[in-house]
Structure 1
Amino acid sequence: MLFKLGQVVATPGALRAIEENNVDSWSLLQRHANGDWGCVPEEDKLENQLSVENGYRVMSSYPLNEQGDKLWIITEADRSSTCLLLPEEY
């Protein structure tokens, strides 16, 4: 694990989407904490690496289904919490 997740929370929309798409959210959280940022552009991957090293906010994006819906995972800079949310809830 590259960083602590803190308290893990999720928006109602994210919880609904996780359930509807039968997604293993714990697996995604593990990927996030281990530096697998999912489907983010290369520059965001590099930014996340710098954020881990310097204690800034970290964000990952994972596909939920074939239609292209995504789930975002954001860990706050102070590592107090990690939130699962849909992009439109940001």
Structure 2
Amino acid sequence: MSKRKFPMGQLVATLAVIELMRKESISLEELFALHVAGNWGGVSEATRTDNERALDGGGRLVSIHEVAGRRVWIVTEADRTRTTALLPEEF
């Protein structure tokens, strides 16, 4: 597994994400592991660039991973106190 690139703080997931992951028999920890390793998934180039800058200078970190045709967003707050897994419509 890749090295952690930043602290994630408290890990939180919405009920919709928990239900999706359970239905698909996928561990939410897998998505969190990708995120903390700097695998930003399906984000835009602009977001990818913002994430890389935020690793050094602070700022929100966002990754997007597809699960069963649904996009799951993983968002770490700028102060690194919380990382949340949610569906885009819950943002």
Matches within 5 A, 1:1-90: 1-65=4-68, 68-90=69-91
RMSD: 0.9
1:2-41 per-position Cα deviation (integer Å, ceiling 9, x unaligned): 1001000111111111111222211111110111001112
Alpha-carbon distance in structure 2 between the residues aligned to 1:17 and 1:85: 10
SS of 1:61's equivalent? strand
What is the one-letter code of the residue matched to 1:86? L
SS at match of 1:59: strand
Q: TM-score, normalised on structure 2? A: 0.91
Cα distance, 1:55 vs structure 2: 1.0
Q: Distance in 1 between matches of 2:56 and 2:30?
A: 23
Which sections of structure 2, spanning at least 5 residues, go unmatched? none
Task: Please give the alpha-carbon distance, in whole angstroms, between the structure 2 residues aligned to 1:88 and 1:52.
Answer: 26
Moved over 6 A (4+): none
